[in-house]
Amino acid sequence: MLAGAGLALSMPYAQAIQRKASPSDVLNIGVIGTGDRGGGLIRLMQGMPEFKVVACSDILPFRLEPAVEAAGKDCRAYPDYKGLLADKRVDAVIIATPLSMHYEMAVAALDSGKHVFCEKTMTYQIDEALKLAEKAKSVKQVFQVGHQYRYLPIYPQVAKLIRDEHIGTVTNVYIQWNRNGDWRRPVPDPRYERVINWRMYTEYSGGLTAELHSHQIDFVNWVFDSHPIHAIGFGGIDFWKDGRETFDNVNTILEYPNGLKVNLIALTANAHEGFLFKFKGSDGTIELSMDKAWIYPEPTSPQWGDVDGVTGATIESLSAGKGIPIHYAKKEGWEGSHYALSDFYQCIKNGKEPSSNVRTGARTAISVRMAIDALRGRQMTSWKEEYDRI
């Protein structure tokens, strides 16, 4: 069990997460869903002494068994996740199951007294997002949603530059997450097709919008402290004619209250430039890849100097059309999941609310579902007044 006094609030965040945990500081984790994502988090936590995976659950034995082995000594296997929730050694759970299962499992975890780290998107349906946000108000546990961009250092750095209007007024954000591949997982037996490749089936998944663009939509919501008021879009199964139900390409436009338009594209038959954000402001553009960012000032914008990690704004680089790199400090070997899990731990220790919490998770889940419904129905969807209660 997690025990001991909380860390001093004055302790720097970086120092807090790098300390060596004593046994009384260890958070006992149960992982529900041990596929690619859950299994990857189990391996990642082996290098984080503040965590100990003591229980795993999955309905597929060939996924559950290696996960338990990877977790190490004393980890228990539960084919039924309710058995894991009844395990009193478990302090907190990670929910890494198909999207359609998140709501039921998150509610059950809160009812069992566990802290919750729920992978994105928080819920599949809008009413589930509203009910889960309301449910979380009545409990004391920490609830974090796995939108990692709020934690990987380059993203807060970019967010601050935009909020401080270093690129002026932003009127458009262009987003893409392109790949060239069928997005399928290997299936050892045809009877497991829908269980393993759940992302391909609308019963379980919102497809590319929920699995990829949800991260990017959450970041835009966070940067501007807002949410879309309208969504339109088109998608199709235009390349991979393999029986899937979710689209193999999506083109979506979100409109925000201040007139901001966000264009989102995801392809599975062309990977050119892969992952990309472009924040287009009146004084410049910020291009953001997975872990790097550059500023391209407008010709009429003020001369750039050293501003919040931005350096090298020379006349030569600008005249050559080169972007100005945005510099940031990053812990060696860490990725977004390390930072997100460390914040989860710190919030439990100190009784704080995560940056990516049940309310922001609900707002993003609603935004994502608006986009999905617009794509599937080929009609505009709108934010409703009742959603504001979150």
The per-residue pLDDT for range 127-157, each reduced to its tens digit, is 999 999 999 999 999 999 999 999 999 999 9
pLDDT of residue 299: 84
Q: Lowest-confidence range among 14-28, 90-104, 191-205, 350-364? A: 14-28
Residue 170 tokens read as 């932003």
The DSSP call for residue 125 is S
Nearest one of 59, 57, 50 to 30, comparing CA atoms: 57
pTM of the model: 0.91
What angle, 0 to 180 degrees and rounded to 10, lies between the N-to-C axes of helices 36-45 and 336-350? Answer: 70
Give Dmax over CA atoms of the chain in angstroms.
64
Nearest one of 9, 3, 1 to 352, comparing CA atoms: 9
Helix, strand counts (H, E) of the chain:
13, 15
Going by their DSSP bridges, the two strands 51-57 and 76-78 should be labelled as parallel
Give the residue-averaged pLDDT of 239-247: 98
Cβ pair 375, 250 in contact under 8 A: yes
What whole-number distance in Å separates Cα of residue 125 and Cα of residue 190?
28
Residue 312 has pLDDT above 70, yes or no: no
Q: Element (H or E) spanning 17, and its range?
A: helix 13-18
Residue 97 tokens read as 């199951």
Greater pLDDT, 313 or 107:
107
Residue 55 tokens read as 């229980």
Going by their DSSP bridges, the two strands 261-267 and 170-177 should be labelled as parallel
pLDDT tier for residue 24 given thresholds of 50, 70 and 90: low
pLDDT of residue 322: 75
**What does pLDDT average to over the chain?**
91
- Give pLDDT tens digits for 50-88: 999 999 999 999 999 999 999 998 999 999 999 999 999
Nearest one of 389, 337, 373, 263 to 44, comparing CA atoms: 337
Q: Lowest-confidence range among 9-18, 30-39, 165-174, 229-238? A: 9-18
Residue 287 tokens read as 């291009």
The DSSP call for residue 1 is -
pLDDT tier for residue 320 given thresholds of 50, 70 and 90: low
pLDDT tier for residue 303 given thresholds of 50, 70 and 90: low
Give the residue-averaged pLDDT of 102-122: 98
Percent of the residues in the chain that have a pLDDT greater than 70, as a whole number: 89
Query: Mapping DSSP to helix (H, G, I), strand (E, B) and coil, where does residue 302 land?
Result: coil
Cβ pair 7, 349 in contact under 8 A: yes
pLDDT tier for residue 308 given thresholds of 50, 70 and 90: low
Which residues touch 10 (CB under 8 Å, ≥6 apart)?
none
pLDDT of residue 344: 98
C-alpha distances out from residue 199 to 6, 105, 148, 359, Å: 40, 18, 20, 25
Residue 307 has pLDDT above 90, yes or no: no
Percent of the residues in the chain that have a pLDDT greater than 90, as a whole number: 86
φ and ψ of 177, to 5 deg = -145, 90
347: left (phi over 0), alpha (psi -120 to 50) or beta: alpha
> What's the full length of the chain, in residues?
390
Greater pLDDT, 161 or 305:
161
